[in-house]
Amino acid sequence: MSTIESLPTGHAHDHHDASYLTPKGGFWTTIIDWATTVDHKKIGVMYLVAILVMFFLGGVAALAVRMELFAPTAFEAGGVIKNQVLTGDGLAGGYQNYNRVMTLHGLIMVFLVIVPSVPASLGNFLLPLMIGAKDVAFPRLNLASWYIYLFGSMFAILAVLLGGVDTGWTFYTPYSTTTDAEYWRVVWMVLGAFILGFSSIFTGLNFVVTVHKLRAPGMGWFDMPLFVWGIYGAAVIQVLATPVVGITLLLMIFERLFRVGVFDPALGGDPVLFQHFFWFYSHPVVYVMILPGMAIMSELIAVFSRKKIFGYRAVAFSSLAIAGISFIVWGHHLFTSQGPVGAAVFSALTFLVAIPSAVKVFNWIATLYKGSIDLKTPMLYALSFLFLFSIGGLTGIYLGALSVDLQLHDTYFIVAHFHYVMMGGTIIAFVGGIHMWWPKMFGRMYNEFWARIGWAFVFVGFNVTFFPQFIMGSQGMPRRYADYVDEFTIYHVISTVGSWLLLVGFLIHLFVFLHSLVAGKKAPPNPWGALTLEWTHTGPTPIEHNFHHEPVVTHGPYDYDDVPPPQTRPGEFPMPDPLPEGAERH
């Protein structure tokens, strides 16, 4: 790779050639080193572990929800989780426990998993490496954001240990400000979400400044890998949208504690104002979730088809367009509660945001054209993303169309839609990304065969779980129901069986990862033949401060036609014939 050690360096220290993973000393020294580290790579790895643990918890809740809906036997017989999973502190019967588990699933998956998932783990690890920086702009703030994440999660877990909340993850008032009045659970949960917001703001702020100020010499805005563009777009939204939910949640806490009345119609307040405030954050945050998934996609597609991303600028600008438009479409969550003028405006704007997302999909598929496509596990996940995200995106058209949305709003159709986008998009890309960068993060290869088996289970299980939900939704099955009429039984049964396939798939992945950590083959420095800066190290993992010298960038991130990948054997990755003398490059 043509990174030239050209910049003058200061007084030379001893060279730390050691991998960032090398223990600093004995067991406790190493633990303290990790707990106090300001190294973005270690923080990224710690985030990854925490997020996977939370994903497991949220997944257990999801399986419990599906189990209940598999056999929501009659009221008097007591459903599967009605009285068994969580003890209902003496509250006899009812659907309370289902509602709490359903809320728990939503809260964990949104606030603790998907929002931080890609940016905080892979983003933290890769962003400085990809732009040739030695760390993020504010390393201590980065560590603070990790501890704030833990701190906020503790409040959320406290609320669960006290019995859980049954508000739904959207906390709609006045239900959320009046339910369970004698307990503090809702306050703890909302406080947790409020604190997690700071973690999100600090991460986003750090990334924006890092991308602006710390790019290596020679790396202009359009020389950045598209991963950086996607993370950057998400970071901008995180910084600008999260404060609004901050004040909203703060007002809600005041409302619960002091009955201030801003969202309570009984006290002159306005519950729809809460919905506006909430979605002013929570719609943009949908793009905080998906943009990093798209960011990973651009890298996977380019690396495993050895092609320059088709229409690089269009993909980069579409990230910014999505970030921008995302702020003015929140009202499409309120089609059934607001007036016709607002509905018309928000419907039109919603269709506008569909275009940049569609453009990205078109460009990725066009990138495959004339490539050299290698169906390794990350690429299988990238292709699954195209499949699932297309379904998720196309079903968004139904929901943007006003008259159809009056039918589909708050039914399983919307549940299926956002699972196809959030899980089929972000989580699928995330899992693909973990596979791609696993060798770089841990220095070991994973077992390709078993990873592919895991992928097959996840892909099939996902569709079996969520596709029937579109059909029952368009037939009228409302969401957040603990019980349903007989017509929907067959769809719920299929869906639950699918959730078991998903479980098997993710367990296989977990096994593959653990096996790799214990007994995986040592990874070569650049197993996929990628061109971005994180693959330039001579060892499998990055060194402690990323680069010995500030790299100087002389080629684009995807010039696979002309630049042999760094740290690979000659001929390991086939190159096209060199351009004839005088021929023009595309």
Partner 1 sequence: MTSPVLAQQWLQDQLLTEPGSTGAATTDGLFMFITWISIVSFVLLMGAMTWFVIRYRRAGGRAPIRSASHNTPLELTWSIGPLLILVVVFFWGFHGYVEKMSAPAGSEEIVIRGFKWGWDVTYDSGKQPSELAYPGVGAPDQNMVPVIKVPAGRPVRLRLYSSDVIHSFFIPDFRVKRDVMPNRYTSFWFETLEDNPEPEVIPILDETGAPVIDPDTQQPMTKLQYPRHVVYCAEYCGDSHSQMMAFIEPVPEEVFQEEKYMVTVFPTKWEFGEYIWQRQCSTCHSVDGSGGTGPTWKDIWGKTHKFSNAPDTVVDENYIRESIIYPQVKLREGYGSDMNSFVLTEEEFEGIIAYIKYLSGEEPE
Partner 2 sequence: MSTISTDSGHGGPAQDERPYHEQYHAAHHFRNRDHEFDAVKMGVWLFLATEILLFSGMFCAYAVFRMLHPEAFINGSHYLDVEYGLINTLVLLLSSYTVAAGVRCAQVGDLRGLKRNILITLVCGVAFLAIKGIFEYGPKAMQGKLPGVFFSYPNAHDPNEPLWWGVYWVATGIHASHVIVGIGLFIWLYLRANKKHFGPRHYTAVEGVGLYWHIVDIVWIFLFPMLYLIH
The residues that touch partner 2, with contacts defined as CB under 8 A, are: 8-10, 12-16, 128, 133-139, 141, 201, 205-206, 208-209, 212-214, 239-244, 246-248, 250-251, 254-255, 258-262, 267-270, 273, 277, 543-545, 548-550
Q: Which three-class secondary structure state does DSSP give residue 478?
A: strand
CA–CA separation, 43 and 57 (whole Å): 21
Tokens 């202009």 identify what position? 220
The amino acid that residue 361 corresponds to is V
Residue 497, H or E segment: helix 489-519
Is 425:293 a contact under the CB 8 Å cutoff? yes
The interface partner of residue 76, options being partner 1, partner 2, none and the CB cut-off 5 to 8 Å by kind, is: partner 1
The interface partner of residue 344, options being partner 1, partner 2, none and the CB cut-off 5 to 8 Å by kind, is: partner 1
Nearer to partner 2, 27 or 258 (CB): 258
CA–CA separation, 179 and 171 (whole Å): 11
CA–CA separation, 363 and 586 (whole Å): 16
CB of 566 vs partner 2, minimal distance in Å:
20
The interface partner of residue 239, options being partner 1, partner 2, none and the CB cut-off 5 to 8 Å by kind, is: partner 2
CB of 316 vs partner 2, minimal distance in Å:
21
> Nearest 10 degrees: CA dihedral of 222, 228, 230, 232?
-100
CB of 318 vs partner 1, minimal distance in Å:
9
Give 444's strand partners: 522
The interface partner of residue 584, options being partner 2, partner 1, none and the CB cut-off 5 to 8 Å by kind, is: none
Nearer to partner 1, 25 or 340 (CB): 340
Nearer to partner 2, 205 or 329 (CB): 205
Q: Which is nearest to 326 in space by CA: 387, 408, 236?
A: 236
CA–CA separation, 399 and 403 (whole Å): 9
The interface partner of residue 497, options being partner 2, partner 1, none and the CB cut-off 5 to 8 Å by kind, is: none
Nearer to partner 2, 176 or 242 (CB): 242
The interface partner of residue 137, options being partner 2, partner 1, none and the CB cut-off 5 to 8 Å by kind, is: partner 2
The interface partner of residue 133, options being partner 2, partner 1, none and the CB cut-off 5 to 8 Å by kind, is: partner 2
CB of 381 vs partner 1, minimal distance in Å:
13
CA distances from 228 to 51, 225, 438, 564 (A): 21, 6, 18, 22
Nearer to partner 1, 271 or 324 (CB): 271
Nearer to partner 2, 147 or 362 (CB): 147
CA–CA separation, 407 and 393 (whole Å): 18
Structure tokens at 582: 């005088």
CB of 327 vs partner 2, minimal distance in Å:
11
CB of 467 vs partner 1, minimal distance in Å:
12
The interface partner of residue 515, options being partner 2, partner 1, none and the CB cut-off 5 to 8 Å by kind, is: none
Nearer to partner 2, 70 or 547 (CB): 547
CB of 135 vs partner 2, minimal distance in Å:
4
Nearer to partner 1, 194 or 389 (CB): 389
With 0-12 CB in 10 A as exposed, 13-18 as middle and 19+ as buried, what is 192?
buried
CA–CA separation, 347 and 405 (whole Å): 10
CA–CA separation, 496 and 355 (whole Å): 34
CB of 255 vs partner 2, minimal distance in Å:
8
